[in-house]
Structure 1
């Protein structure tokens, strides 16, 4: 009876030991949590300082410095900067360029990757190497050829030129990434659809794209953010004030003698808010796409 009762008590004893191990891991979890909190504070501190300085008056900034608290909320610097640079137009330009590039680059990446990953075209490896090399080229090396091409075809100083350039640049990375994803796509599904009479075009848009939608959503979000933050090529190709994007407008005006510290902080705040808002809006989509990719 003793041995039987001891045997019956073994699962309970194991459960208590497991609970002890979980509770013993408490200090480790608290240490990780504390480290994450410190990291979050370090990352958010510049944003908080910029926000505080953006709502100060120039007199408050001069007397208290950048780390002092404002005596009230003053939006004069933000309003003046918005009106001076016509920030609404800059915001619209960045939004249109980034959104169009994100959509076109994903579509082009899907078409290329479908041919390379599922179609298995000849010389697939060399084509992927070509896309990889194109993705690693610095933008400084592309500036002169793209400049002369844009001038020759009459697209210089137009949003269309920037859209075409960044669509190709982003699609090079998207093709390389999606080719590996679609290369592991279940062949049984494609063969079953082909037996049912589905064309390659219908297989792509009716089967491959819906199944790969989480990955495509993540790729589109990255393309949007990367294009939004681009500065070098838009600075070269968008020289007129009406076509400039947000990063270009902020970079050009940083050395303006007519801008004080509060207006500079206001410009930085207005440049940060759209990207942060976009990330917060699509954070769930981004997390879901990464999680689905990890589970698969």
Structure 2
């Protein structure tokens, strides 16, 4: 028996040592990240806006507040930012109502008409119900997004399920949802957490419960101009051929991991097909950091500096003049 006990203790110590070493390696790799200031994209600047101009305020990941002085449109509305331990420990979590309240007040989200999650993963749709419950805004999206709204007890008149290429108008904004694809960064060339949310999702739940649902390209049209928001670095071939935009706000999360060929095809399908002249990359920041803290992901997760170099090449080699810039964080930028 003593022989077996010693063997068990030895095996336990070896396993514990390997686990500790793994944690130390992950912790070391997690610190190896570039600074946002190292990005090759210049930060866009704009003069003081007037009431009739359309401005966008980037609030991290793909949370974007569009405002023409009368009506506000919000993509995603993701403020809670579950930390790294929620990811590693796979423990249930729920929207951070204190952070949501603070963000809505700080950025004067008081004329909100629509909330548009770009798909139903937690880093896009987790807070949509909580934001809707603090406004009269309507959530637009898929059945999966509707089940997030139902789980948050959003009134039925405040969420709508749209078909492919279906539109809704709010003030002078027209919003069209176009089916797209998520970046294929999961196993087997699929999205992370693929599938649909098939019943009301009542928090607290694990982050993996926020299935992808439907991924969208979102076209936001206004008499002053058109913006295409692409939240994830996937695409459907030729889906945007008849949909032109002045500006593309382009999700780049995980793009470097997919390689230059995928990145170039993505650029062609989203930026070139839409005939845009101005591109703002987003979804390059570490969403495990608290709201308001803008940091790049560790290089082991995503090398955004490499993506920036590719984009510089793509913009310079095309037939049309395209400017790639960084949105200022938390500051309204006049689009048109």
Decide: shared fold, TM above 0.5.
no
Higher Cα radius of gyration: 1
Q: Which has the higher contact order (CA 8 A, sep 6+)?
A: 1
Q: TM-score, normalised by structure 2?
A: 0.29
Structure holding more helix per residue: 1
TM-score by length of 1: 0.31
User: Higher strand fraction: Structure 1 or Structure 2?
Assistant: 2
